[in-house]
Structure formats: structure tokens, C-alpha cells
Amino acid sequence: MAVDVRSLTDTWRIGDVEIPGRVVLAPMAGVSVQAFRRQGRRHGAGLVCSEMVSACGLGHGNERTKDYLRIAPDERPLAVQIFGSDPAQMAEAARMCVAAGADIVDINMGCPVRKVTKTGAGATLTEGGAERGARIVEAVASAVDVPVTVKMRRGVENGSRDFAVAGPRFEAAGARALTLHPRSAKQMYTGTADHALTAELVELVSVPVIASGDIDSRERARVVLETTGCAAVMIGRGAQGNPWLLQSLREDRDVTPTNEQVVAEHIRFVRETVRELGEQRAVHFLRKFHAWYLRRGRFPRTLRQELSTLQTTAEVEAALLAAAPAAAPLIAQMEADIAALDALGDDAELDLPISLYGGG
């Protein structure tokens, strides 16, 4: 069912969950930590998603790491994404997520990575008439009292039209919204996302459809909205080190950060990641983010390489501030904002082991 969207700031609903804006921050493995999600909400995402959590890991406790998913008041509403191939196991994982505070449970049926698909999870769940996928949706929807959603691709094979069968089946099984990334699993992230397929899915189902894939600018978001009738757009790789894209969508104007704004935002992200993961793990986790942030503004070419070799986040901060000394007052204000948020209440810790497989 096509949606008449006048603005990306329009409020909408997935089931009984009200979402304050039609920009969704994608679940991305190895990226969507709490610091990333909180940043997304601050800059304009109406809904943010966790990276995918293994239902098997939850059930057997065999993936325990120091990566715990947390929910902060300023990141809600939050969807927690789970993956697996066994309906009963997925239902139990969903119950655990809801007990911990998830507002929405999302089922990953789009992951193209071999280590996931070989287990019968991820993108393979749309094959064979989506029979296994529908059983999982039904089991999860029956197990929890929050909305259940599905993120999927067009199918596994190039040219597949499995989405056209799977979408209506998942809706009938209890899915309250569907996200379509209109590439095949075999494509991974090559080629282009064919949003003519998104428009087709919109006409096939009556639940909201979220468009995902190649939405990396305000202009592209508007085109996808107007040509597909989707309810919302999902931003993934375009938001990596670039929360200003989310802001530009929210404000319907181009937003170009200064060097000082880039450095201040990056340092805030560094500090919140250290708080979440600890210093040692954060140093390694953050290295991919340095290059993503420094694509904004004008910085010495040597700075990216320098940051990737530093062994502490204090050294990272010092190098960034040396490149933009005037960022210091912005950082001080950000710290005051963080303190005010923390005064509202402690984060709710969710003891959920995170699976760092590739996302869908």
C-alpha cells in the first residue's frame, strides 16, 4: 500500500510503536553499537536498529563477549535485529530481547554472508516460497507483544523475484513492516539497488515498507519516496562517519559540517565508544571510523594514516584537536549535553552477546 509522505519528519507507526520521523538507521554488523545509534537519533533518525544478534548465541551462551547491547533513553524507539534458522530458537531470542527492553524485534532475512546463509539463516529464508521464513515470523510474532518486522533482499540469486512471494507471506504470518534491499544476496553491495522492486512490494502488501539501498543523499531519498510509495527510507553505509546526512534529511537542506564540527562529533563518538566497549577494544573498533569521518571537511591526507596507527584514544583525540583546535568549545558543550542525558537515568544493560557477522 503506497503511502503519501509529505515530509521525512512525519510521524508514523509500526504496529503500536510511534516513530518520530521517516528516516531509519540501518542495522550494520560491526558498526551499529550504541554510540552509533545514539548519534543517529541526535541527528535525525526516527528509528535506530541494533546490529544483528545470534539467536543461537542467546540460546546457548556460546558467543559471550564484552559487547553488550544497551538501551539509552535517547535512542528509543529501538529495533533489535535477530538472526537464525530455527523458529523455536528465534521465538525464545525474541522474548529475551523484549524482556530486556526492545521496542521492535526485526528478523534478518537479508544477510548475504556465507557463514550465515550456510546455516539456513539470512537471505536463504526467502527461498522455496519463503516457507521456513514464514514459520519463523509466525513463531516470533506469537511469542512477543511488540511489533515484529523483517529485513530482506530480493532473493539469493541475481534476478530473483523471491521478495514478491515472501513479502505477502511474511505479512500474513504476522510481520508489521517489511524492509527491502532490492539487490540479490549474490550481488552483495555491487551494482545498484533496483527500487522498482520496492514499488512493487509496496503494492503487494498493506504493512509499511521501508526502502533500503543506495540512499545516500537528500535528493535520492526524495526520489525513492516519490517513486515507490514507501513509508520510510533506511540509511546504511551513507551514515558511516556522516551523521550530517541524517540531519540533511530531517531538515530538508544540505548540511556541510566544518572541520571543527567533524572533529567534535568524532571525538564524542570516540568517548561514547570507549564507555561502551572499553579502551582496548574501542581503539581497534574505531579505526575504520577515522577514514569515514575524515572524508568530511578538509584535513591533511596524512591524518587518516596517523590515526590508524595510534594505540590509545587519548592520542587519537590529541591528533584530531591538533587538526582543528577550535573544536574544543564544541566538545565541551557536547560533554555537558551527555552529562544532562546521563542524569535522566542509567542505561539499561541488555546481556545480549552480539554477533559480528556481515549485515544484510
197 and 293 together in one domain = no
Residues 249 and 279 in one domain: no
Q: What is the pLDDT of residue 72?
A: 76
User: Of 31, 11, 27, 30, nearest to 19 (Cα)?
Assistant: 11
User: Is residue 150 within a helix (H) or strand (E), and if so which, with residue range?
Assistant: strand 148-155
Pairing of the two strands 104-109 and 78-83: parallel
Query: Looking at the domain assignment, is residue 358 inside a domain?
Result: no
241 and 266 together in one domain: no
Task: Please tell me the predicted confidence (pLDDT) of residue 343.
Answer: 65
Q: Which of 175, 198, 330 is nearest to 267 (CA)?
A: 330
Contact, 59 vs 90, CB < 8 A? Answer: no
- Report if residue 231 sits inside a domain: yes
Q: Among candidates 355, 1, 356, 359, which has minimal Cα distance to 178?
A: 1
Rama region for 307: left / alpha / beta (φ>0; ψ in -120 to 50; rest):
alpha
Cis check: omega of the bond before 77, within 30 degrees of 0? yes
pLDDT at 2: 76
pLDDT at residue 69 in the model: 52
In terms of Cβ atoms closer than 10 Å to its own Cβ (0-12, 13-18, 19+), residue 113 is middle
The answer to whether 78 and 46 are in contact (CB under 8 A) is no
List the beta bridge partners of residue 78: 48
Claim to verify: residue 167 and residue 40 sit in the same structural domain? yes
User: What domain range is 324 assigned to?
Assistant: 259-342
**Are 240 and 265 found together in one domain?**
no
pLDDT tens-place string over residues 153-207: 999 999 999 999 999 999 999 999 999 999 999 999 999 999 999 999 999 999 9
d(CA 317, CA 264): 9
Q: Residue 39 falls within a domain, yes or no?
A: yes
Decide if 359 is inside a domain. no
Instruction: Note the pLDDT tens digit of each residue in 237-275.
Output: 999 999 999 999 999 999 999 999 999 999 999 999 998
Q: Is residue 1 part of a domain?
A: no
Same-domain check for residues 60 and 29 = yes
Number of alpha carbons in the 13 Å side-chain half-sphere of residue 134: 16
Does 88 share its domain with 236? Answer: yes
Query: Are 216 and 276 contained in the same domain?
Result: no
Tell me the CATH number at 233: 3.20.20.70
Q: How far is CA 118 from CA 56, 84, 125, 155, 233, in A?
A: 14, 11, 11, 15, 29
* 187 and 314 housed in the same domain: no
171 in any annotated domain: yes
Q: Distance between CA atoms of 184 and 155, rounded to whole angstroms?
A: 5
**Residue 24: φ, ψ to 5°:** -115, 130
- pLDDT cut 70: percent of the chain above it: 90
Q: What does pLDDT average to over the chain?
A: 89
Under DSSP, the state recorded for 142 is: H
Q: What angle is formed at CA 169 by the lines to CA 25 and CA 233, rounded to 5 degrees? A: 20
- Structural domain tally of the chain? 2
The answer to whether 321 and 329 are in contact (CB under 8 A) is: no
Q: Are 228 and 274 contained in the same domain?
A: no
Low-confidence spans in the chain with pLDDT less than 50: 62-68, 349-360
How far are the Cα atoms of 50, 82, 91, 240 from residue 236, in angstroms, in the given order?
A: 12, 17, 27, 7
Q: Do residues 98 and 234 share a domain?
A: yes
Residues 34 and 173 placed together within one structural domain of the fold: yes
Angle, helices 287-294 vs 301-309, to 10°: value is 170
Bridging pattern class, strands 12-14 and 17-19: antiparallel
Q: Is residue 7 included in any domain, yes or no?
A: no
| Catalytic annotation, residues | 111
CA distance 98 to 102: 5
Q: What is the DSSP letter of 312?
A: S
